[in-house]
Each structure stands twice: as C-alpha cells, then as structure tokens.
C-alpha cells in the first residue's frame, strides 16, 4: 500500500509540474510528500488491514507525551554531545569555528529552522513506520523480542540507499534501532522514540556538524574536521558507522531507563 500511495502522489505531482511549470520540491517539500504518504498508508493499513485504531500504535495524547518528546530530544542531544567531546578529547576532531561567523546569523538561523522541520518530519515518519507499524505487527505475529529485532533490522536496511553505506553502518543502524525500540518498550508509546529520533538527527547534523547517516547536505552550526580512524568515528557516514556510537548508546539507554522508571501507560485502545 505504501508503494501504491507513493506512486499515485508522484504521478499527481508530475502532472502538476508539467501543467504549471513549477519546479521540483526541495528537501522540505520532499519530506512533506513523504509525511503524507507514510501517515496515510499507516492510517489506512491500521484501520482496514489490522482493524484497529491509529492511536493504538502508541499515539495516546496526554501531558506525559510532551514530556517524552522533550526528554527524547534532550537525551539524544546529550548523546551527540558526548560523541563530539570524545572525538575532541582523542584529538581526532579539530574545531574550525562557528557557521554564523562567515554566513551571518540570519541565514544560519533560517537554514537551521528549516532543517529542524525536516528532522521533525523524518522523526515522525520513521518512528511511525519502524517502531509503530513494523515493530508492533511483527511482535503480534511472533513476540516482542522478535518484533524488536526484526523491525530494527528492517530499519537498518531501509538506509541502504544512503551515501557511503557499509556493513559497519548497517550494524550501527541496527543497534540504533534497538535503542529507539527501547524507548517504545519502556513506555509502549511512540512519543519518546519520536523525540529521540528528532534530537538525534538535529544535534548530530545541525548542532555538532556530523554527517547524518551518510547525508551531509545540512547546515552546520559548529564547523570542524575529523581525521580519526573511520572504524571508530564512522568516517564519511557519520557516528552511526563507528565504534564511537557504542558508549553513546549505553549512556542513552541508561538515561532512558532512569527517565521512564516507575512509569505506566494504559494499554492502547483497539
């Protein structure tokens, strides 16, 4: 169904561009198209294939949802800060200044705000699909452990089209999928994983200036160069492909456990 809806929207977009002479949408426009496609696909699949509500995926809205979103962003931001400090301490990361020193504060703020919006959409899309539809349907068909493992493997494989993808990147993204799934398992809601995903990408790419899963076409607030061993730093793919990811995941998992201690959510409604 995802491919069918995507094909229909792409055809409609192509017809619109051909008739109006409009330009192809940029990155933000492409993400909005993906947002519509993924969300609509999951809504229809959940209702007509699973015979269950959309909110039953873990989208119950209550005050704790806002707290989970903010905690997720904060924790993943701290994880990326830890990676930055470890690489700087090891002498592999060489600070080169701030983006606004050469580009001006206004353009940098605008570019960062657009990138944040892009990452909000990506966080919603990928968590709705991976920790939402994939994990939960696989868990119902097998068990929670297999649901987590299989959905994390699918999550990693879906990034195979990214530039500079490698086996190390596959392994790192699989572990990252397990980490994000831990946020769902602890709360049985998607808000914490969504916050983690948004903060992960934004702090990794925009704030600390690393490639985001092989993608480097994002504005960077902190400018630097890295000359450490790619096996550790992840090289041109970014931290997800390096051993530097492991201590960050361990610290992040400990933070998730602490933040969610004593928490209980009601079972999702059918």
To the nearest whole number, what is the mean pLDDT of the chain? 89
pLDDT at position 204, please?
Answer: 97
Provide the terminal-to-terminal Cα distance of the chain, rounded to the nearest Å.
22
Residue range 149-183, pLDDT digits in tens: 999 999 999 999 999 999 999 999 999 999 999 99
pLDDT at position 3, please?
Answer: 46
What predicted TM-score, i.e. pTM, was given to this entire model?
0.89
pLDDT at position 221, please?
Answer: 95
| CA–CA separation, 215 and 240 (whole Å) | 12
pLDDT at position 157, please?
Answer: 97
Low-confidence ranges of the chain (pLDDT < 70): 1-26, 264-270
pLDDT at position 91, please?
Answer: 96
Residue range 38-49, pLDDT digits in tens: 999 999 999 999
């Amino acid at each position: 169904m995802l491919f069918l809806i995507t094909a229909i929207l792409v055809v409609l977009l192509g017809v619109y561009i051909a008739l109006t002479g409009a330009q192809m949408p940029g990155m933000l426009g492409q993400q909005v198209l993906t947002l519509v496609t993924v969300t609509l696909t999951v809504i229809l699949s959940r209702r007509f294939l699973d015979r269950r509500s959309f909110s039953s995926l873990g989208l119950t809205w209550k005050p704790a949802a806002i707290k989970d979103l903010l905690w997720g962003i904060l924790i993943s931001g701290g994880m990326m800060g830890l990676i930055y400090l470890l690489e700087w301490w090891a002498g592999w990361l060489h600070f080169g200044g701030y983006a606004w020193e050469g580009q001006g504060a206004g353009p940098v703020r605008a570019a960062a705000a657009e990138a944040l919006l892009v990452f909000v959409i990506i966080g919603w899309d990928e968590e709705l699909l991976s920790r939402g539809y994939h994990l939960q349907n696989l868990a119902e068909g097998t068990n929670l452990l297999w649901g987590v493992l299989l959905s994390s493997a699918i999550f990693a494989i879906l990034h195979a089209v990214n530039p500079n993808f490698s086996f190390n990147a596959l392994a790192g993204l699989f572990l990252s999928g397990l980490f994000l799934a831990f946020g769902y398992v602890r709360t049985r809601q998607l808000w914490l994983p969504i916050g983690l995903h948004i903060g992960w990408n934004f702090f990794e790419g925009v704030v600390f200036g690393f490639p985001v899963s092989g993608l480097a076409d994002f504005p960077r607030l902190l400018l630097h160069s890295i000359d450490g061993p790619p096996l550790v730093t992840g090289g041109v793919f970014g931290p997800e492909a390096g051993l530097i990811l492991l201590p960050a995941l361990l610290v992040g998992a400990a933070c998730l456990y602490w933040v969610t201690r004593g928490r209980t959510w009601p079972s999702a409604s059918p």
